[in-house]
Chains A and B, each alone.
Chain A
Amino acid sequence: MAKKKENIRNFSIIAHIDHGKSTLADRLLELTDSVAKRDMSAQILDDMDLERERGITIKAHAVKLNYKAKDGEEYELNLIDTPGHVDFNYEVSRSLAACEGAILIIDASQGIEAQTLANTYLALDHDLELVPVINKIDLPAAEPDRVASEVEEIIGLDCSVAPRVSAKTGENVAQVLERIVADIPAPPVAEDNAPLKALIFDSVYDNYKGVIVYVRVVQGTLKAGETMKMMATGAEFNVVEVGYMRATGLEPCKELSAGEVGYITASIKTVRDAKVGDTVTKLQNLASEPLPGYRKVNPMVFCGVYPADGADYEALRDALEKLQLNDASLSYEPETSGALGFGFRCGFLGLLHLEIIQERLEREYNLDLVTTVPSVVYKIHLTDGETVEIDNPTNYPEQAKIDYCEEPITNAHIYAPSDYVGTIMDLCQDRRGVFKDMKYITTDRVDIHYELPLNEIIYDFFDALKSRTRGYASFDYEIFEYRRSSLQKVDVLLNGDVIDALSFIIHSDKAMGRARKIAEKLKEHIPRQMFEIPIQVAIGSKVIARETVKAMRKDVLAKCYGGDITRKKKLLEKQKEGKKRMRQFGTVEVPQEAFMAVLKLDDNN
């Protein structure tokens, strides 16, 4: 069958978290008979357990749907699902670059949220045609009319024909397909014989096929047996297979051509060789220019990741290696800590990314981990004129050698009911925020704009925001500059020994408060031992907070009557096990819980 390029529609679905992106995607799959009903597990596109549980999409997914529209024409719809979180903004942006349009889902009860707007702007940056869809009309609190006018007012999108659907029940979802066909343009006409340019918008690692590269072909063609070349990395590969992504699996085809969305396999060993945003071309007919927009994604947040049991070091390395096959934005390198032994310094796109990797390591690889306090990347200007970038407190230079420091600052937008303005502003102020402006989205919802240091955000900001606004606030940020700041490295000493894993870099105004809390927390969680343990928190040699864990005087004395010796023995064994769960820090034994409590320390406890 001759391909009718004007019947191709490439689109994404964008939405704020939990507004029903994945559920709507599932309904579209059903309606186009892309997957048998009996094979539908809820949210088929979110195939990691973690994605389903958290209701977020971590990796982009793509799927080709065939749809016979009311006009009698057969259409080929390429749905490119995107991760919904700011940490993965770059991936979202690449996915959008592969499309001509996007469905914008808005929750009929919640209206516009932080990521609704953030994603909208991203889509508009890529000149995408937006199709608004108002979802969750089945909810009792749904106000589709109000939300429609909100969208018209704030985003300026005409909602007169916007489908009002319930992705959950399937009501009106068919209208969405019609709008895709009618409103989203076909891919621009391009020459099949022009040099190949295909945008990589995602890649996944498969144990059998190696890396599967997801591409949008902008011009030219590609088939098996040809040699492809990655324009940014220069790597060359022999194409093994090309084809389309179907809901039920991969479907090989003879050739991918301009306008199409598909996959390539070429025995590529790691996703590092197939970076999102790179342009694929052909060795036989090289494109002169890559497609615009590739940039290297740099980790923003770093922390040490250590196996709780030192014997698991190898296992942790293997696990990180495997995760990285699939996630090029994860970086890691070996690191040693006096307190925690051998581990890795890992770099993440953001806090969510960090949490997700940590959870996957623990769940999928069954590892028990200790992570150190996350750090951002600081620029330290030394008196000798040199500038160093520091993401690990251990490498922080001596105070005397530092001329000045800079820290990353974000533009942060918080969307919330106006009732919470006061409490949100208190929080931002407390986190060294600089107020920029505040806009009323509707009469009772506001967009509060602050400049916030990233190191304040990674320190439990989101949890604090949620608890202060009972979960009604949404939040979005992006780094925009490095700014001069007064920073200090703070050390924790137990019985006189610096516990390197507990050191952190902090703004000097906040050092004292945090130091006190840490000292208290440690005192609370370190059990009394055979000797008194001084806890000191210090900047350089100056102690700014101290507590003492008194020496232990007694442990559990078992009666030893009636000749039950076994019971006594068991008690001693228990004593030994308890010791095993402790980590030796110099002379002091600290239970894992104490360590976690300090790292999880937030404003509320």
Chain B
Amino acid sequence: MIMTGIYIHIPFCKAKCPYCDFYSFRPEEKEKDSYLKAVLLCLEEYKAMITDEVDTIYFGGGTPSFFGGERIREVISHIRNNYRLKNAEITVECNPSSVDEKLVKSLKNAGVNRISMGMQSAVTKERKALGRVSDGEKVKECVELFKKHGIDNISLDLMLGVPYQTPESLDKSINFLLSCDIKHISAYMLKLEEDTAFYDMQENLSLPDEDTVCDLYLQTVERLRDEGFLQYEVSNFAKEGYESRHNLKYWHCEEYLGIGPSAHSFLNGRRFYFPRDFESFINSPTPVPDGDGGNEEEYIMLALRLNEGLQNKEFKSRFKKDISRNVFKKAEIFANQGLLTLSEESIALNEKGFLLSNTIISELLEGVD
């Protein structure tokens, strides 16, 4: 049974975080309304292209919580009325600073059942360096609020390799995360992206060195494993059964519709996206073709991000042939270096391998016929 996901990009933020290069800006109130209209129109336009059932909706950003609960509710009910929504995981990314009881209630009413919040760090000095206004306690309050209203599938983001971070300070952040009693954690490494404030001031950021960042990552994997959070992707950890179904679609090379400027779609074998331009999306959303998707290379590249790894069985059912033996042959070297687990039927990177995934994946892809 093929299921499709829908991603809605909310390009609004109260303030831009200095490390973030996702498309967002500070809107005027009426821009939020015109954006809502544009999103609904766009959903209307694409419904013909999606005949399969829709089982995930994901509001990402930007800051969806800053878009307002009522507008989110309208989008969801539009999808409900126009698409075959079934047993859906509906996630909304939230920023603690824009979460209050009113928002939580309207999200709950709208059917939202999963929340993803950026905590990044629980250590004040690090939070400040990351441009986070609120303190860690505010995050916890929000978590409690969601739980109080019956949303307990909550994910928090943790950043690794941020300014001033040490193994000890990371331990504090992880302790704090665990004390929030949540189901899912995304732990990703700070990457300096061009056109961000961090990129321009990188010399003065007091960033931990490369070796330390590696240690921080391994420390996180180990600690979370001990606490019952299973790693299922390079940067994602969940209590059993709480993996993000929407994000898994990306890594399983399944299809999805992405609405909003900078949102990417993979529909009917084609990839396309809407340009990072709010005005053009409001006036006439024009998708830019991004080539065919879902070929062997893409599938392998994405599968190797997952802990379950690349499985010949899945590959075969999709491509009607076995994975090239050359891929396995190339994997041997890395297996000997202790970077992945190799069996007759699968290749799965471990956490040391994830750290080197670009090198490993590009090398393995050379084995594809």
Q: Do the two chains bind?
A: yes
Given contacts A557-B355, A562-B262, A576 and B362 within 8 Å (CB-CB): yes
For B189, what are the chain A residues with a Cβ–Cβ distance below 8 Å?
557
17 additional A-B residue pairs with CB within 8 Å, beyond A557-B357, A561-B247: A553-B214, A554-B355, A557-B188, A557-B191, A557-B358, A558-B358, A559-B191, A560-B251, A563-B265, A565-B266, A566-B264, A566-B291, A568-B301, A572-B358, A572-B362, A572-B365, A575-B362
Interface string of A122-158 (1 = CB under 8 A from B): 0000000000000000000000000000000000000
Given contacts A553-B211, A566-B271, A575-B362, A531 and B266 within 8 Å (CB-CB): no
| Interface contact B250-A560, CB-CB below 8 Å | yes
In the bound complex, what is the Cα–Cα distance between A530 and B355 (angstroms)? 11
Instruction: Say how far B245's CB is from chain A's closest CB, in angstroms.
Output: 14
Asked if A483 lies at the interface with its beta carbon under 8 angstroms from chain B, I say no
In the bound complex, what is the Cα–Cα distance between A263 and B305 (angstroms)? 74
Interchain Cβ contacts under 8 Å between A and B, 12 examples: A531-B337, A554-B210, A554-B355, A555-B356, A555-B357, A558-B191, A564-B273, A565-B264, A565-B302, A568-B301, A569-B301, A571-B358
Tell me the chain B residues, 63-119 only, with Cβ under 8 Å from chain A: none
Asked if A552 lies at the interface with its beta carbon under 8 angstroms from chain B, I say yes
Asked if B283 lies at the interface with its beta carbon under 8 angstroms from chain A, I say no
Tell me the chain A residues, 534-564 only, with Cβ under 8 Å from chain B: 552-564
| Interface contact B358-A555, CB-CB below 8 Å | yes
Closest chain A residue to B339 by CB distance? A530
In the bound complex, what is the Cα–Cα distance between A555 and B266 (angstroms)? 27
Instruction: Find B7's partner among A530, A553, A558, A563 (CB 8 Å cutoff).
Output: A563
Asked if B156 lies at the interface with its beta carbon under 8 angstroms from chain A, I say no
In the bound complex, what is the Cα–Cα distance between A531 and B356 (angstroms)? 12
For B293, what are the chain A residues with a Cβ–Cβ distance below 8 Å?
565
Closest chain B residue to A529 by CB distance? B359
For A563, what are the chain B residues with a Cβ–Cβ distance below 8 Å?
7, 250, 256, 258, 263-266
In the bound complex, what is the Cα–Cα distance between A493 and B337 (angstroms)? 23
Band of interface residues on A:
20 to 34
For A561, what are the chain B residues with a Cβ–Cβ distance below 8 Å?
60, 247, 250
In the bound complex, what is the Cα–Cα distance between A530 and B298 (angstroms)? 24
| Interface contact B235-A566, CB-CB below 8 Å | no
Asked if B213 lies at the interface with its beta carbon under 8 angstroms from chain A, I say yes
Closest chain B residue to A574 by CB distance? B358
Instruction: Say how far A271's CB is from chain B's closest CB, in angstroms.
Output: 48
Asked if B234 lies at the interface with its beta carbon under 8 angstroms from chain A, I say yes
Instruction: Say how far B238's CB is from chain A's closest CB, in angstroms.
Output: 15
Asked if B361 lies at the interface with its beta carbon under 8 angstroms from chain A, I say yes
| Interface contact B271-A554, CB-CB below 8 Å | no
Closest chain A residue to B298 by CB distance? A565
For B337, what are the chain A residues with a Cβ–Cβ distance below 8 Å?
530-531
Interface string of A516-544 (1 = CB under 8 A from B): 00000000000000110000000000000
Given contacts A554-B210, A557-B188, A572-B301, A565 and B250 within 8 Å (CB-CB): yes
Interface centre among A557, A563, A568, A569 (most CB of B within 10 A): A563
Asked if B184 lies at the interface with its beta carbon under 8 angstroms from chain A, I say no
Asked if B52 lies at the interface with its beta carbon under 8 angstroms from chain A, I say no
| Interface contact A553-B355, CB-CB below 8 Å | yes
- In the A-B complex, the 8 residue pairs with the smallest Cβ-Cβ separation, listed nearest first, are A554-B355, A553-B214, A563-B264, A555-B358, A572-B362, A575-B362, A564-B264, A575-B358
For A556, what are the chain B residues with a Cβ–Cβ distance below 8 Å?
191, 358
For A571, what are the chain B residues with a Cβ–Cβ distance below 8 Å?
358
Given contacts A530-B337, A560-B250, A553 and B256 within 8 Å (CB-CB): no
For A558, what are the chain B residues with a Cβ–Cβ distance below 8 Å?
191, 358
For A530, what are the chain B residues with a Cβ–Cβ distance below 8 Å?
334, 337, 356, 359
Given contacts A571-B358, A572-B365, A562 and B191 within 8 Å (CB-CB): no
Instruction: Find A553's partner among B22, B210, B301 (CB 8 Å cutoff).
Output: B210
Which residues on B are within 8 Å of A, measured CB to CB? 7, 9, 22, 60, 188-189, 191, 210-211, 213-214, 217, 234-235, 247, 250-251, 256, 258, 262-266, 271, 273, 290-291, 293, 298, 301-302, 305, 334, 337, 352, 354-359, 361-362, 365
Closest chain A residue to B273 by CB distance? A564
Number of interchain pairs (Cβ within 8 Å): 90
Which residues on A are within 8 Å of B, measured CB to CB? 530-531, 552-566, 568-569, 571-572, 575-576
In the bound complex, what is the Cα–Cα distance between A562 and B93 (angstroms)? 12
For A553, what are the chain B residues with a Cβ–Cβ distance below 8 Å?
210-211, 214, 352, 355-356
Closest chain B residue to A566 by CB distance? B290
For B355, what are the chain A residues with a Cβ–Cβ distance below 8 Å?
553-555, 557
In the bound complex, what is the Cα–Cα distance between A29 and B301 (angstroms)? 70
Instruction: Say how far B1's CB is from chain A's closest CB, in angstroms.
Output: 21
| Interface contact B298-A554, CB-CB below 8 Å | no
Instruction: Find B361's partner among A554, A562, A572 (CB 8 Å cutoff).
Output: A572
Instruction: Say how far A495's CB is from chain B's closest CB, in angstroms.
Output: 15
In the bound complex, what is the Cα–Cα distance between A576 and B297 (angstroms)? 14
In the bound complex, what is the Cα–Cα distance between A556 and B235 (angstroms)? 13
| Interface contact B305-A562, CB-CB below 8 Å | no
| Interface contact A557-B234, CB-CB below 8 Å | yes
For A554, what are the chain B residues with a Cβ–Cβ distance below 8 Å?
210, 213-214, 217, 355-356
Instruction: Say how far B192's CB is from chain A's closest CB, in angstroms.
Output: 10
Interface centre among B7, B188, B358, B361 (most CB of A within 10 A): B358
For B210, what are the chain A residues with a Cβ–Cβ distance below 8 Å?
553-554
For B264, what are the chain A residues with a Cβ–Cβ distance below 8 Å?
562-566
| Interface contact B262-A559, CB-CB below 8 Å | no
Instruction: Say how far A138's CB is from chain B's closest CB, in angstroms.
Output: 47
Instruction: Say how far A558's CB is from chain B's closest CB, in angstroms.
Output: 7
For A569, what are the chain B residues with a Cβ–Cβ distance below 8 Å?
298, 301
Instruction: Say how far B15's CB is from chain A's closest CB, in angstroms.
Output: 20
Instruction: Say how far B73's CB is from chain A's closest CB, in angstroms.
Output: 22
Closest chain A residue to B93 by CB distance? A561
For B251, what are the chain A residues with a Cβ–Cβ distance below 8 Å?
560
For A531, what are the chain B residues with a Cβ–Cβ distance below 8 Å?
337
In the bound complex, what is the Cα–Cα distance between A103 and B52 (angstroms)? 92
Closest chain B residue to A572 by CB distance? B362
For B258, what are the chain A residues with a Cβ–Cβ distance below 8 Å?
562-563
In the bound complex, what is the Cα–Cα distance between A219 and B22 (angstroms)? 85
Instruction: Say how far A581's CB is from chain B's closest CB, in angstroms.
Output: 15
For B22, what are the chain A residues with a Cβ–Cβ distance below 8 Å?
562
Instruction: Say how far A523's CB is from chain B's closest CB, in angstroms.
Output: 15
In the bound complex, what is the Cα–Cα distance between A560 and B357 (angstroms)? 12
Instruction: Find B356's partner among A552, A559, A576 (CB 8 Å cutoff).
Output: A552
In the bound complex, what is the Cα–Cα distance between A554 and B271 (angstroms)? 29
| Interface contact A559-B188, CB-CB below 8 Å | yes
Instruction: Say how far B167's CB is from chain A's closest CB, in angstroms.
Output: 15
For B357, what are the chain A residues with a Cβ–Cβ distance below 8 Å?
555, 557
Instruction: Say how far B58's CB is from chain A's closest CB, in angstroms.
Output: 9
For A566, what are the chain B residues with a Cβ–Cβ distance below 8 Å?
264, 271, 290-291
